[in-house]
A = this chain, B = another copy of it.
Amino acid sequence: MRIIKANEFKLAREVEYGTPEQNKTVSDILERVRTEGDAAVLRFTESFDKVKLEAGQLRVTEQEITAAYDRVEPRFIEALRRAAANIRSFHEKQKRNSWMDVQPDGTTLGQIIRPLRRVGLYVPGGKAAYPSSVLMNAIPAQVAGVPEIVMVTPASTGGKEGIDPYILVAAAEAGIREMYRVGGAQAVAALAYGTETIPPVDKIVGPGNIYVALAKRYVYGVVDIDSIAGPSEILVLADDSADPSYIAADLLSQAEHDEMASAILVTTSRPLAEAVLAEVETQLATLPRKEIAEKSIRERGAILLADSEVEAVATSNRLAPEHLELLVREPFGWLGRIENAGAIFLGPYSSEPVGDYFAGPNHILPTNGTARFSSPLSVDDFLKKSSVIHYSKEALLRDGEDIMTLAKHEGLDAHARAIQVRLEKEGERT
């Protein structure tokens, strides 16, 4: 980690397309599951997850879910429930109403908003099985009113004992009752195309490894998908009022995620920059995930010195961070100038983990600079809209000629005739 000039810094951005071999593997798996259903799902589960199942064992039973509650400490369940309540409460505020615009001439135009019917949530196995991500994916769908939310997770998630009980509890707390032990590209295929045991969904959300990400890319169009997440990022925008130990701790909490994670401080204060640099070294020394955090900090971390507040804000807007912390004297005064950021954390007590786990806003955020055009996961992502058009006879007689003029110019005569046949008949009748 070095102190460098803000305007000289560039962040490497890569969109991950996978190798040709990975793409081939994924498209083969998809095709097998599409044509062979359960049989292919079971075969891939045996070969990749080393778990031999029959079709009847794919679905997680009610007993397993109940048993999971006994394996999780009550302190965890309480914290999870409070987090879930906050997440639910925040997302309730995102709900939208259908609307109609009823005009005096009898014309009615509107927009009907409805939940998707069935959504699949992918939960990765191993160390990436995060209960918090289960809540963050499932609760917006539940608040949107999606009647069927189904979870898939590799059979090997919790090792030989079956699926991680913390994941089962988080899913149950988020209202999910339909869960299958299947992972990888075969799980994405099962959700997209359906099998004898797993009915198809309308949308697939949730993170996964490169095979899962490629599979989601392939099935997009057959079903909807969420955005493909890149490495996690934090940008701290701080003035000399900020506590260097808070900044260092927050940068490291990002860095421990992943060697590819970026942790960046932007400040106009050189003393702060130097204090944070020292604090990062001190705190890094005793971190359990030191190895990951250190690689991330050394290779992708940076402390950027800006000549002015204006340059500091411009740098942040240019980098469009996933997480942005405003550790400045009057953070709300800066808000209007922030153009691109997934989530904005204001002031010294709004450390990123507050948002990652608990406050209520979603922690699934646009990565890789996509905050320029993308948004946090929200209730909107589980809703669809239909336009409504009701024209009155009066309106059609008034507008018919204009419509025909436009249609004829585009060479679409049958469009014009669909209006004309009505004008002629209705003209006769009146």
Do the beta carbons of B395 and A349 come within 8 Å of each other? yes
Do the beta carbons of A93 and B83 come within 8 Å of each other? no
Contact with B along A382-425 (1 / 0, CB 8 A): 01111111111101100101110111011111111111011001
Do the beta carbons of B388 and A344 come within 8 Å of each other? yes
Nearest Cβ distance between residue A153 and chain B, in whole angstroms? 15
Nearest Cβ distance between residue A115 and chain B, in whole angstroms? 10
Do the beta carbons of A256 and B415 come within 8 Å of each other? yes
Nearest residue, chain B, Cβ from A290: B414
Q: Is A10 an interface residue (CB 8 A)?
A: no
Do the beta carbons of A79 and B256 come within 8 Å of each other? no
Q: How far is the CA of A82 from the CA of B287 in the complex (A)?
A: 65
Partner of A245, one of B387, B393, B421: B421
Do the beta carbons of A422 and B348 come within 8 Å of each other? yes
**Residues A371 and B390 in contact in the complex (CB < 8 Å), given A228-B221, A415-B353:** no
Q: Which residues of B contact A413 (CB under 8 A)?
A: 256, 287-289
Q: How far is the CA of A409 from the CA of B413 in the complex (A)?
A: 65
Q: Which residues of B contact A346 (CB under 8 A)?
A: 108, 388-390
Do the beta carbons of B246 and A421 come within 8 Å of each other? yes
Nearest Cβ distance between residue A376 and chain B, in whole angstroms? 5
Partner of A166, one of B131, B355, B356, B409: B409
Indicate the member of A109, A127, A351 with the most B CB atoms within 10 Å. A351
Q: How far is the CA of A384 from the CA of B370 in the complex (A)?
A: 10
**Residues A384 and B391 in contact in the complex (CB < 8 Å), given A245-B421, A405-B76:** no
Do the beta carbons of B411 and A116 come within 8 Å of each other? no
Partner of A391, one of B78, B109, B350, B410: B350
Indicate the member of A93, A253, A349 with the most B CB atoms within 10 Å. A349
Q: How far is the CA of A83 from the CA of B109 in the complex (A)?
A: 14
Q: Is A249 an interface residue (CB 8 A)?
A: yes
Comparing A40-48, A306-314, A334-342, the segment that makes contact with chain B is A334-342
Q: Is A222 an interface residue (CB 8 A)?
A: yes
Interface size of A as a range: 35 or more
Q: Which residues of B contact A353 (CB under 8 A)?
A: 403, 407, 412, 415-416, 418-419
**Interface SS of chain A: helix, strand, loop or mixed?**
mixed
Q: Which residues of B contact A328 (CB under 8 A)?
A: none
Q: Is A132 an interface residue (CB 8 A)?
A: yes
Do the beta carbons of A402 and B221 come within 8 Å of each other? no
Do the beta carbons of B342 and A390 come within 8 Å of each other? no
Contact with B along A65-106 (1 / 0, CB 8 A): 000000000011011101100000010011000010100000
Q: How far is the CA of A414 from the CA of B340 in the complex (A)?
A: 26
Q: Which residues of B contact A58 (CB under 8 A)?
A: none
Nearest residue, chain B, Cβ from A363: B387
Q: How far is the CA of A391 from the CA of B86 in the complex (A)?
A: 13
Nearest Cβ distance between residue A85 and chain B, in whole angstroms? 11
Do the beta carbons of A130 and B389 come within 8 Å of each other? no
Q: Is A380 an interface residue (CB 8 A)?
A: yes
Indicate the member of A75, A340, A350 with the most B CB atoms within 10 Å. A350
Q: How far is the CA of A94 from the CA of B112 in the complex (A)?
A: 12
Q: How far is the CA of A117 from the CA of B339 in the complex (A)?
A: 9
Nearest Cβ distance between residue A307 and chain B, in whole angstroms? 23
18 example contacts (A-B, Cβ-Cβ < 8 A) are as follows: A90-B109, A116-B372, A127-B411, A131-B409, A246-B418, A252-B418, A253-B412, A287-B417, A289-B413, A343-B389, A347-B391, A349-B391, A349-B392, A349-B422, A353-B412, A357-B402, A357-B407, A376-B385
Which residues of A line the B interface, CB within 8 A? 13, 15, 75-76, 78-80, 82-83, 90, 93-94, 99, 101, 107-109, 111-112, 114, 116-117, 127, 130-132, 166, 202-203, 221-224, 228, 243, 245-246, 249-250, 252-253, 255-257, 283, 287-289, 293, 331-332, 335, 338-362, 365-366, 368, 370-376, 378, 380, 383-393, 395-396, 399, 401-403, 405-407, 409-419, 421-422, 425-426
